[in-house]
Amino acid sequence: MGALSVPALARKGEPPPRPNIVLVLADGLASWMLGCYGNQEIRTPHIDQLAQSGVRFQRHLVCTPAASPSRATVFTGRVPRQHGIQDFLTSEPIENPPQGQAAPPASFKNEVMLSDILAGQGYECGYVGKWHMGDDQNPQHGFRSWQTLMLDGATGYQNPRLSVNGQVVTENGSLTDILTAKAGQFLDQQTAAKPFFLTVGYLNPHPPYEGLPARYYDMYAKADFTTTGWEPAAANALRGKQYLKDTVGNLRKCAAGVSSLDDQIPLLLAKLHARGLRENTLVVVTSDSGFLLGRHGLWSRGLASDPINMYEEVVDAPMIWHWLGRVPPQSVRPELVSSYDFLPTLCELLELPLPASRNLCGRSYLSLALNRPLPKKSPWRTVVFGHYRNTEMARDGRYKLVLRNEGNGPNDLFDLADDPREKVNQYENPKYLLQRGELDRTIQQWRKNTMA
């Protein structure tokens, strides 16, 4: 089958059916943790194979390195100052330094999500796993099948509490396996007659790290993780600092969570194959953010430090597309793309208009995913942006500028070509004054453009 051939399900003379979409959304899975992105110690053969048989975006950055606002950006295409979720949602936010948000603003229920768009076009929409965007118990935003992880208590990997279409139940067993089984149940109900959109929101590899099947811990019992670049705890370490007390031990547990997630991929693909749905299903693997896991002497994500950080480890998340016969295999795209580009990309794929009056800042990267040439008059942009509370980021192909408190500091400038691990802050270095000024102006304009 050719790279852009029509699926076999389409009859001659009829338009091809709209594709099904399976979105695997991990929690805190950084690009650097995966073999296909260069990791030599954490075993991810199935995700690596998925990337090998499709397209991998080499530099896909989330807008916000925190779960709730990042997920909201993926589904709405809007940034935190627009959709209103500024931080991870928790019943116990902290005031100093600010950490967490008690609930989304009332306006969030009016946000237009990808699922709202697809449900309006006749898609059967199902959500399985971690939602974490408010009112976790109740089905919303076009998802008619709702099996979400309740986050009002322990969030470990054994015997989870789930909302099954609004009714809270306790399931017995391993969370990761249970979520895959629930996804399988949804897929068993699907046919080629009606397209579907399924999100599987795995908790992996987010802590706590206990409760996985023993075989995953056994895989890393002797691993020393000498290549991961972890460092002793930094003076400004904040959230997740307790995991640095036994960094290697916790790296082993986290790696177990990554490999447990990896083992779910062939199960989902097998279910699609068994249902005769795989050829017309786009499978996307991504994450809401990355984790540092000891790099820079920090453990968690953006709030791992005070002030907030925007290190590559926390903003660079995988973006892998797999679609037999449609997405060219063995493709690697070097362009900078963002999580706020996801909704525009799927809208173009499905030939749907963007939601009205949403002031989206993203752009479709469908041509990149399908290896099609871009229009000569519209080359791909060279800068992506980030926003987390008082912190903003502009990142181009070489430099990263991080402004805090609207530029009043403390600020960072990193030369990623000479300093890929972001060890030397060049913000005050006059040698970089031109680059700093250019990126500063792009942030000011982006801030202005995304105020509403």
* Amino acid 176: pLDDT: 98
How buried is residue 214: exposed, middle or buried, by Cβ count under 10 Å (0-12/13-18/19+)?
Answer: exposed
pLDDT tens for each residue of 291-329 = 999 999 999 999 999 999 999 999 999 999 999 999 999
pLDDT tens for each residue of 93-108 = 999 999 999 999 999 9
The bridge status of strand 145-149 relative to strand 399-404 is unpaired
Q: How many angstroms separate the CA atoms of 413 and 175, rounded?
A: 41
Both structure tokens of 171: 């399931």
Non-local CB neighbours of 11 within 8 Å, separated by 6+ positions:
none
Going by pLDDT thresholds of 50, 70 and 90, the confidence category of residue 4 is: very low
Amino acid at the residue 384? V
The bridge status of strand 196-201 relative to strand 124-129 is parallel
* Amino acid 390: pLDDT: 97
Domains identified in the chain and CATH numbers: 20-373 (3.40.720.10), 390-452 (3.30.1120.10)
* Amino acid 9: pLDDT: 42
Length of the chain: 452
* Amino acid 14: pLDDT: 62
Whether 6 shows a pLDDT value over 50: the answer reads no
The bridge status of strand 391-395 relative to strand 399-404 is antiparallel
Both structure tokens of 278: 């795989």
Q: Which residues pair with 184 in a beta bridge?
A: none
Distance of alpha carbon 101 from its chain centroid, rounded? 20
Q: Say what the pTM is.
A: 0.95
Q: How many angstroms separate the CA atoms of 30 and 315, rounded?
A: 8
How buried is residue 113: exposed, middle or buried, by Cβ count under 10 Å (0-12/13-18/19+)?
Answer: buried
Closest CA to 293 of 223, 234, 229, 227: 229
Q: What is the mean pLDDT of residues 130-136?
A: 97
Non-local CB neighbours of 325 within 8 Å, separated by 6+ positions:
1, 2, 3, 5, 7, 279
**Contact indicator for 340, 73 with CB cutoff of 8 Å:** yes
Q: Which residues pair with 174 in a beta bridge?
A: 158
pLDDT tens for each residue of 209-262 = 999 999 999 999 999 999 999 999 999 999 999 999 999 999 999 999 999 999
* Amino acid 154: pLDDT: 56
Q: Where are the alpha helices (DSSP H) in 241-363?
A: 247-262, 264-274, 312-315, 342-349
* Amino acid 167: pLDDT: 97
Q: How many angstroms separate the CA atoms of 301 and 28, rounded?
A: 8
Mean pLDDT over all residues of the chain? 95
